[in-house]
Amino acid sequence: MNKKTNERPVFPFTSIVGQEEMKLSLILNVIDPKIGGVMIMGDRGTGKSTIVRALVDLLPPIDVIENDPYNSDPYDTELMSDEILEKIKKKENLTKIQIKTPMVDLPLGATEDRVCGTIDIEKAISEGKKAFEPGLLAQANRGILYVDEVNLLDDHLVDVLLDSAASGWNTVEREGISICHPARFILIGSGNPEEGELRPQLLDRFGMHAQIKTVKEPSLRVKIVQQRELFERNPQEFKEKYKEEQNKLMNNIITARKKFKNITIKYELLEKISQICSELNVDGLRGDMVTSRASKALVAFENRNEVTPKDIFTVITLCLRHRLRKDPLESIDSGFKVQEIFKKVFNY
């Protein structure tokens, strides 16, 4: 079964026409997962889920401990389940294997138990053991959790997802029994604005917000349709055509991940980012932090060493547009507003 799902052909990321804003947001989050995920809003049929699924093909395989439901990292205790830590203390022999970076699709009707996992109370009481059935958050550890139509999901469930994504841990409590396991994943949500927005306090917890619009230019639309037809006719041949570009992008991402921690950003640039957030009345400090991290991830991706105002300009709209207070009477696009203030503060 598993082998079959792994072989399902995935549209190559580098063959996707347009949607640069979304592609950039996803790549930056893969370089630095602490950016806090991406919310993608756009019309129906604009390829949102195609692009997200294509992203997984770019990620390098990860080392895990065999038969562990949490994808425990053999080298990092922060990313290990309690069971594995216990086995390491007892100096048990553990088999390490490599798997594809996990990507978990959250079904719209999922219950909290399905997402977080369940504790078998009867077994716990009768046998005195913590009988835990892991959920989707355990499967998504060290990978990507994708929620399509996130704006139609129950607010409480969105809260649970965002909490886990921010803390890197999932805690399940039932009848005085508590289980905690690592759940570090990149949260990607997508939705159609016509079906309603997320509550502002939930929206603010997503690191970046990409908007996708239907391509208007006829020649580009034709190219997109042709690409899709070629892929469906012969997926393997189509993927082979983009293999070199895919490998190049994958290597760039791997290099950028290593380089990221050495990227510097000058104090005066940080001060200007904060000034922009302040002038836009952005609540809290999340906007300042995400803009700084995303700028550094961009510099790492482009294989440079220091953040420039141009880097900040490239990412700041994606980091702040969803954090502005909505004025129902205002017709100006929030992204345009962010750019306006940026130009004023930076004399750009």
Indicate if 11 and 148 belong to the same structural domain: yes
Q: Of the ranges 9-23, 103-117, 264-278, which is most confident?
A: 264-278
Residue 253 lies in a domain: no
**In this predicted structure, what is the pLDDT of residue 125?**
66
Residues 13/58, Cβ–Cβ less than 8 Å: yes
Q: Residue 64: how many CA atoms within 13 Å on its side-chain side?
A: 21
Last residue of a domain, one of 147, 178, 212: 212
Residue 256 gets the label, from left (phi > 0), alpha (psi -120 to 50) or beta, of: alpha
More confident residue, 76 or 308: 308
Per-residue pLDDT for 204 more than 60? Answer: yes
Give the SS3 label for residue 267. Answer: helix
CATH number for the domain including 269?
Answer: 1.10.8.80
Indicate if 52 and 165 belong to the same structural domain: yes
Reported as a single tens digit per residue, the pLDDT across 71-102 is 999 988 888 888 888 888 888 888 899 999 99
pLDDT band at residue 29 using 50, 70 and 90 as cut-offs: very high
**In this predicted structure, what is the pLDDT of residue 328?**
54
Q: Which pTM value belongs to this model?
A: 0.88
Indicate if 168 and 316 belong to the same structural domain: no
Residue 16 lies in a domain: yes
Last residue of a domain, one of 186, 212, 238: 212
Alpha helices in 280-321 (DSSP H): 286-301, 309-320
Q: Which residues are catalytic?
A: 286
CATH number for the domain including 110?
Answer: 3.40.50.300
Per-residue pLDDT for 36 more than 60? Answer: yes
Reported as a single tens digit per residue, the pLDDT across 317-329 is 999 999 987 765 5
**In this predicted structure, what is the pLDDT of residue 153?**
85
Residue 49 lies in a domain: yes
Indicate if 266 and 207 belong to the same structural domain: no
How many structural domains does the chain have? 2
Residue 32 sits in which domain range? 2-59+100-212
The CA distance from 159 to 161, in Å, is 5
pLDDT band at residue 53 using 50, 70 and 90 as cut-offs: confident
Indicate if 159 and 46 belong to the same structural domain: yes
Reported as a single tens digit per residue, the pLDDT across 218-239 is 888 898 888 888 888 888 989 8
Residues 309/295, Cβ–Cβ less than 8 Å: no
Alpha helices in 103-195 (DSSP H): 112-116, 121-127, 136-140, 155-167
